[in-house]
Amino acid sequence: MLFSSITFLYYFLPLTLALYFIVPKKFKNFVLLIASLFFYYWGEKVYIIAMVVLSILGYVFGLLIDKFRDSKLSKVFLILSIILPLTTLGIFKYADFFIENINMIFKSNIELLKLALPIGISFYTFQILSYNIDLYRGNTEVQKNPINFMAYVSMFPQLIAGPIVRYSNISKELNQRKYSFEEIAYGINRFIIGLSKKVLVANLLGEFCNIYKTSTEQTVIFTWAYAIAYALHIYFDFSGYSDMAIGLGRILGFHFPENFDYPYISKSITEFWRRWHMTLGGWFRDYVYIPLGGNRVSKLKWFRNIFIVWALTGLWHGASWNFVIWGLLFAVLLVLEKLFLKKYLDKIPAIFSRIYVIFWILISWIIFDAASFGDISLRLSMMFGFANKPFINAETIYYIRSYIVIFIIALIGATPLLKNVFTKINNSSNLLNKIKNVFEPITQAILLLSVTAFLIDGSFNPFLYFRF
């Protein structure tokens, strides 16, 4: 079930919230669990079993890790709690990838498993792993209530596309949370903003990208426009989903971590990855990079750790070599920045360091979105005029003119400009605040009506990160 669907917005969500706020506090997690299981079952009638089984295993291993904390058995149960979820993830997500490569290398003919990828498996697997690892490390307390634990794993706001919420982030709120009009109002506003980013911006940019891919009249300028459109598309798609998840969480009484912080204003690739998909970056830092030794090892091992983390980050996004290349590209750039490049980026005017970041980010998204090595080669060749394609033509001009307004809106929205304006209003006179308080609900209503109109019209409406 998509957040950006009539079914979710006008049936599932109102009924769930009504029931959630009617029942006594001690039953709220049970209502949340049932609603979340139904939400997942709507789109995954078979693979809900995988999520439930992994949740039960995570819960049981947590009890065992805690019970045998002072013995070697605790570490045995930790290892099992890591191996079993990762094996399940590997079978569903990577089995055919490895079989294909084995067949290619050894000229064998092993039959592919052709298993469908359960929606959100990468996200909820990482959440279960973080719980058991943190529990073993003593960074969180054991959850003895199975309903509370399964509610954490399956919580519908962040179940299928994050942000990756660690148990330690919300452990107290699982047991006792507070509700207020201000928090609920904030959650509604955040949800509508995210929904609008997704439907009114990301979807239209996605249409432009699809037009480019199916066009027989591709040009140099059209390819650059596509690269920019895709960069904005994936940002508004994923950050819009994160906004909706954070907003829904706030309505339900949970404080989910932020996932994006205007990454396209970064002045280095290092800074970009502190601002983009922050919960994933934090997960790999705390559970892979630091256990490998982080930067507290020899320089050679330090760089090895960076390459391992980024190869895994690429693979996390998908079982394909283009994702591995995408991850390793960032590994190379990060190593170069740590060796010498960062000190020069800090000295030059900000405009040039930001151009450097945007250039490499656009290249990276070309690789990320490619269906094959041929696609990567062709699109990069077209970007730099090596594909024997015209610089510009009438079709390119037509489509850029048709989408120029949404490009401008997206470029402004990808910066903190509007946020800064609203911050100044909040910190200004009472009059401006009163005007904002009047127009804010009106704006929310207009945005919700506009989104509804788009959804009823049946516009382009996939979520990119569902496939990860």
Per-residue pLDDT of the chain (468 residues; tens, 9 = 90+): 788 889 999 999 999 999 999 999 999 999 999 999 999 999 878 889 999 999 999 999 999 999 999 899 999 999 999 999 999 999 999 999 999 999 999 989 999 998 888 888 999 999 999 999 999 999 999 999 999 999 999 999 998 887 999 999 999 999 889 899 999 999 999 999 999 999 999 999 999 999 999 998 999 999 999 999 999 999 999 999 999 999 999 999 999 999 999 999 999 999 999 999 999 999 999 999 999 999 999 999 999 999 999 999 999 999 999 999 999 999 999 999 999 999 999 999 999 999 999 999 999 999 999 988 999 999 999 999 898 899 999 999 999 999 999 999 999 999 999 888 877 777 776 777 777 777 888 989 999 999 999 898 766 556 555 555
317 and 412 together in one domain: yes
386 and 449 together in one domain: yes
Q: Among the options 233, 255, 277, 317, which is catalytic? A: 317
170 and 227 together in one domain: no
109 and 189 together in one domain: no
Q: What is the pLDDT of residue 467?
A: 53
Q: What is the pLDDT of residue 468?
A: 53
263 and 335 together in one domain: yes
165 and 206 together in one domain: no
Q: Is 317 a catalytic residue?
A: yes
Q: Measured in whole angstroms, how far is the alpha carbon of residue 189 from the centre of its chain?
A: 20
Residue 213 covered by a domain: yes
Calculate helix-pair angle for 146-154, 28-43, nearest 10 degrees: 40
The rounded radius of gyration (Å) of the Cα atoms in the chain is 23
208 and 84 together in one domain: no
Residue 1 covered by a domain: no
**Cα distances (angstroms) measured from residue 355 to each of 227, 239, 267, 272, 404:** 14, 22, 8, 13, 21
Q: What is the pLDDT of residue 422?
A: 79
144 and 201 together in one domain: no
- 409: which 2 tokens? 């809106």
105 and 44 together in one domain: yes
Q: What is the pLDDT of residue 426?
A: 73
Q: What is the pLDDT of residue 457?
A: 78
Q: What is the pLDDT of residue 465?
A: 53
Please identify which residue in the block is written with the tokens 């996932």.
259
Residue 302 covered by a domain: yes
In one-letter notation, the amino acid at residue 431 is L
Residue 26 covered by a domain: yes
Of the residues 145, 177, 209, which one is the last residue of a structural domain?
177
Please, which residues have CB within 8 angstroms of residue 430's CB and are 6 or more apart in sequence? Answer: none
164 and 17 together in one domain: yes
* Spatial separation of the C-alpha atoms in residues 269 and 331, rounded to whole Å: 10
Task: Report how many domains make up the chain.
Answer: 2
Of the residues 156, 177, 198, which one is the last residue of a structural domain?
177
Residue 360 covered by a domain: yes
187 and 172 together in one domain: no
Q: What is the pLDDT of residue 44?
A: 79
Of the residues 148, 177, 206, which one is the last residue of a structural domain?
177
Range of the domain at 451: 183-467
154 and 218 together in one domain: no
Residue 233 covered by a domain: yes
Please, which residues have CB within 8 angstroms of residue 151's CB and are 6 or more apart in sequence? Answer: 29, 30, 32, 33, 36, 174
Residue 239 covered by a domain: yes
Q: Which of 155, 164, 264, 243 is closest to 198 using CA atoms?
A: 243
Residue 343 covered by a domain: yes
* Spatial separation of the C-alpha atoms in residues 217 and 394, rounded to whole Å: 9
Q: Which of 322, 292, 293, 325 is closest to 311 using CA atoms?
A: 325
